[in-house]
Amino acid sequence: MSYPVHGQGHDGAYGATPLVTGDAVVLDLRPAGFATRAVALVIDMIVQIALIVLLTTLTLWMGTELDPAAVAAISLGGTILVFVGYPTAFETVSRGRSLGKMAMGLRVVGTDGSPERFRQALARALASFVEVWMTSGVIALIVSMLSRDGRRVGDFVAGTMVVEERAGRAREEAVPMPPQLAGWAAGAELARLSPETAAAARQYVLRYAELAEYTRYEMGARLADEVAAQISPPPPPGTPPPYFLAAVLAERRRRHEAALPPHLPR
């Protein structure tokens, strides 16, 4: 794969519906289908209902030794914990997956393709309490059907969407190493490079030919500055941003694969 500098055409397309970020980067992520999301939601709701039943049983059992006000407080606090805490905790720890989404191969990501953050998981959970539980899912259903990417109110509030994780992994492209930078990259310190910055750089390199000339320059310079601030030493003087970013990503992937146990697929 070459890294064009004067409008070279893109050499392929995917079956997935492309998503375009505010910076005009095309992301190869397939939005989750309505039916798949619905099944994942039902699984999560069953888990939450089971937790509520368990909590209610324990509260009634303890109620014989507590005053009514304490029982009511425990019941209310536990209900909020289940409805809001469960999805927030799971999606934060697992980077966008609840039990239902794990079962269906789905993941919540930011609209820019970045991993879901705690504040986004919390916003989705709070909105879900209203649009799913308080309205029996009617609001979530209507909004999802009207949204091109199947996003519900919580997704719009949090700036997220649900994608097919398995499909995305199957189509993942490796960024090849520019030969002239292989020696420099082999000795570079990349441990401080954040996953979010690496993901943005990867999308820029892979979708370079689809960007307008001005966007290529501005975005490339910005991403190169961000990456350079997180690694050392800097690239050789005069290295174009696409080549610099490609070298960092290729070396990062090589080290990751080298660290995997022999029986795991690369």
In a domain, 151, yes or no: yes
pLDDT at 137: 82
**Same structural domain, 153 and 54:** yes
In a domain, 70, yes or no: yes
**Same structural domain, 44 and 148:** yes
Last residue of one domain, picked from the residues 137, 169, 201:
169
In a domain, 4, yes or no: no
In a domain, 209, yes or no: yes
Total domains present in the chain: 2
Output phi, psi for 161, to 5 deg. Answer: -155, 160
**Same structural domain, 163 and 185:** no
pLDDT at 25: 39
**Same structural domain, 134 and 58:** yes
pLDDT at 120: 94
Last residue of one domain, picked from the residues 142, 169, 196:
169
Burial of 233 (0-12, 13-18, 19+ CB in 10 A): exposed
**Same structural domain, 189 and 70:** no
pLDDT at 64: 62
Q: Which two tokens stand for residue 237?
A: 């003087």
CA dist 238 and 241 (Å) reads 9
How confident is the prediction along the chain (266 residues), in pLDDT tens digits per residue? 434 433 333 333 333 444 444 433 344 567 888 888 889 989 999 999 999 888 888 777 776 666 777 767 777 888 888 899 989 998 998 888 899 998 988 989 887 667 788 999 999 999 998 898 888 888 988 888 888 778 899 999 999 989 886 544 444 567 889 999 999 999 999 999 988 888 889 888 988 887 888 888 899 999 999 999 999 999 999 999 999 999 999 999 888 878 755 544 44
Give the HSE-up count for residue 28: Cα atoms under 13 Å, Cβ half-sphere: 20
**Same structural domain, 73 and 151:** yes
The DSSP symbol for 46 reads: H
CA dist 25 and 113 (Å) reads 10
pLDDT at 166: 58
Nearest to 137 by CA among 68, 34, 238, 226: 34
Output phi, psi for 242, to 5 deg. Answer: -60, -40
**Same structural domain, 162 and 46:** yes
**Same structural domain, 49 and 137:** yes
Last residue of one domain, picked from the residues 169, 190, 206:
169
pLDDT at 63: 62
| Residue 203: domain span | 173-259
**Same structural domain, 132 and 228:** no
pLDDT at 263: 44
In a domain, 135, yes or no: yes
**Same structural domain, 151 and 55:** yes
Output phi, psi for 19, to 5 deg. Answer: -110, 140
Largest Cα–Cα separation, the chain: 77
Exposure string (b/e) for 112-145, b if CB count within 10 Å is 16 or more?
Answer: bbbebbeebbbbbbbbbeebbeeeebebbbebbe
Is the previous residue joined to 241 through a cis bond, with omega within 30 degrees of 0? no
Tokens 């949090």, residue? 158
pLDDT at 261: 56
**Same structural domain, 198 and 77:** no
**Same structural domain, 162 and 191:** no
In a domain, 179, yes or no: yes
The answer to whether 113 and 29 have CB atoms below 8 angstroms apart is yes
